[in-house]
A and B are shown apart, each in its own frame.
Chain A
Amino acid sequence: MWRFALRESGRFALGLFGALLLAAAVSALADSGSGASGFAMRTAQRLFDFVRLDFGTSAISGNSAAQDLAARAPTTLTLLSLGALIAILFGVPLGLLLGTGPLRRTTAPVIQIVSAAPVFVAGLALAFAAKHVLGWPPVEGAFPQAGALLHGDAGAFRVALLPALTVGFAAMAAIQVVLRRTAGQMHDAPFRTGLKRLGLSVGEIDRVYVAPMLFSGLLANLGEVMLALLSAAVVAEWVFKTPGMADLFVKSVALHDWNLVALILFFFASAALVVNFIGQLAARAVTEAGRVA
């Protein structure tokens, strides 16, 4: 386990360095200059600045890029947290129900169609259904902070509902995909036949051997779920006019505000790397615990 943790830590550190290098290269575009050597020098300079936590100035607002990011971060983090919460509360049980049992084959065509739907189409369909089925048209307004939601503010809940559901559904779909993939790999695994010959019932095999492996598979692919969450946040913020980091990224690219683009890119890449790292370690721990048990 320790060797594995050390290797994963090394990979994680290298990944973070790579993300930092990429962000520095993007940020170097902000300074005009010519030639590949000039660009390499500027990238090295920006890398050095980043290490000193100097992320440059936004070309649009004139504020420091870190300030602009900090102003938008709570919205995106709240949206991501709500999406993750929805995905965990509903996605995991639904994934286990539809992805592992006898319903796995029956629901395959539906999941195939869900996998083919781009997030923005799902977001628009959700808004349409909310208006015509629930009588809740999309509400525009400042996206509520976590505090307002925790205090049960109905208005805040209405504003947050559709973007959070869009992000949550995208993450649910990613969880469903991961669980089905893991279940599919284990469906015909030779150990099942061996354990049946040893006299274990299907229920026992599923509970004692398959369930920890499914859980471990989900943890090992948390990075994939995080990427789905981040992509969905970009679309949800755009569709529902929620001014978060992802919305800022789109606008910054359109206006060539490269310092801000670089910082947001680094933030998103780091988030995916952190979640992937934690997921890999947790998956290994679950597998080891299963072996010991």
Chain B
Amino acid sequence: MTAPIPLLRRLSMAIGWSGLILVTLAVVLSDFLARTQAGVAHAAPLLAQPSALYPFGADDLGRDMLSETLHALNVTVANAAPAAVLAVIAGGLFGFVAARFPLPLRATLRWAIGVLSNIPALLLAILLIGLTTRGFVAAGAGLAAAPLAFVRAFDRACAQGSSVHAEYARATGIAPSALLRRDLAYEFRDTFLSTVARALAAVTIILSTVSFLGFGAVPPHRDLGLMIAAARTTYLDAWWTAAFPALALLIVILLARLAAGLEEGERA
């Protein structure tokens, strides 16, 4: 059983989830809310400043920044959601189960994944995408975020394995598989949503960074990272070309962190 969550953190988690629901709505309705389709040039004057007509301005190709940001948010979230699920399964779930494997297998897995967790997740993601194709960008980001989630879940499961209730269970002859099922049920009841939100924050950072470096989304289906990368040549004089996609990205990651109940001193 985990300790009760303090009121302030409950409040921030509620804000985080409410915000993520709003983001999901914006993503679902992006085609309806956006004035133009993705990548349509000359929809506005080149590098038009933010105004009532073009609230987010336009970029150097005359693309409406509001429409582009909405489409890019759609691509970012569409990639981040499966990546987060993969990180939870390959990291959190597998780590928890692996801690109950026979000792040699358990130790080998902990060692191998421990080595991977000593490599920056960004480099792992770049490597995985380089080994496959850009179509696997979500899988690459999910797998790159998994080692840290694995290590966390593994260590937590090991601590539970030597807890009082586990000792009682073993003493009364309860099968290890039954104990694992029980611990897994409690683990996921107590932490599933926050684990998913935490993974979402981590993979969103990875996905946007790999796209920024040119390994992620492919035009015209730009994500927020690629939009910011495209603004590199203009943003010093036309701040709006990078500021709005950056703000959207920051909001998604911040909401995911809040939803996960992460304190300000915790890594995603």
Contacts and interface: CB of A to CB of B under 8 A. Distances in A.
Interface of A: 14-15, 18-19, 21-22, 26, 29, 99, 108-109, 111-113, 115-121, 124-125, 127-128, 131, 137-138, 176-181, 183-184, 223-224, 227, 230-231, 234-235, 238-239, 249-250, 253-254, 256, 261, 265, 268-269, 272-273, 276
Contacts of A223: 118
B130 to A, nearest CB: 4
Contacts of A137: 236
Given A15-B115, A128-B235, A254 B266 contact: no
A177 B119 contact: no
Interface stretch (B29-37, B183-191, B256-264): B256-264
B123 A249 contact: yes
B118 A111 contact: no
A178 to B, nearest CB: 8
B74 to A, nearest CB: 19
A137 B119 CA distance: 33
B119 A124 contact: no
A29 B127 CA distance: 12
Contact of B111 (A18, A138, A231): A18
A239 B205 CA distance: 16
Main secondary structure of the interface of B (DSSP, over half): helix
Contact of A115 (B118, B127, B129, B264): B264
Contacts of A138: 236
B150 to A, nearest CB: 14
Contacts of B152: none
Given A14-B111, A250-B213, A128 B236 contact: yes
A109 B267 CA distance: 15
Given A128-B239, A268-B120, A115 B115 contact: no
Interface string B236-268: 100100100010011001100110001111111
B50 to A, nearest CB: 16
Contact of B130 (A111, A127, A261): A261
Given A230-B123, A231-B123, A261-B130, 11 more contacts: A15-B115, A18-B114, A99-B265, A116-B257, A118-B249, A124-B228, A125-B246, A131-B236, A177-B264, A177-B265, A184-B263
B266 A181 contact: yes
A117 B246 CA distance: 9
B114 to A, nearest CB: 7
A253 B253 contact: no
B126 A231 contact: no
B215 interface: yes
A224 B148 CA distance: 11
B56 interface: no
Given A116-B254, A254-B214, A177 B266 contact: yes
Contacts of B213: 234-235, 238, 250
Contacts of B123: 230-231, 234, 249, 265, 268
Interface in B89-127: 111-112, 114-116, 118-123, 126-127
A14 B201 CA distance: 31
B264 A112 contact: yes
A275 to B, nearest CB: 10
B253 to A, nearest CB: 4
A231 to B, nearest CB: 4
Contacts of A22: 115-116, 119
A171 to B, nearest CB: 13
B250 A116 contact: yes
A121 B118 contact: no
A125 to B, nearest CB: 8
B208 interface: yes
B131 interface: yes
B267 A127 contact: no
29 contacts: A15-B111, A19-B118, A26-B127, A111-B265, A115-B257, A115-B262, A115-B268, A116-B253, A118-B212, A118-B249, A118-B253, A137-B236, A178-B265, A180-B265, A181-B265, A224-B267, A231-B122, A231-B123, A235-B209, A235-B213, A253-B130, A253-B215, A254-B130, A254-B215, A256-B130, A261-B127, A265-B127, A272-B119, A273-B118
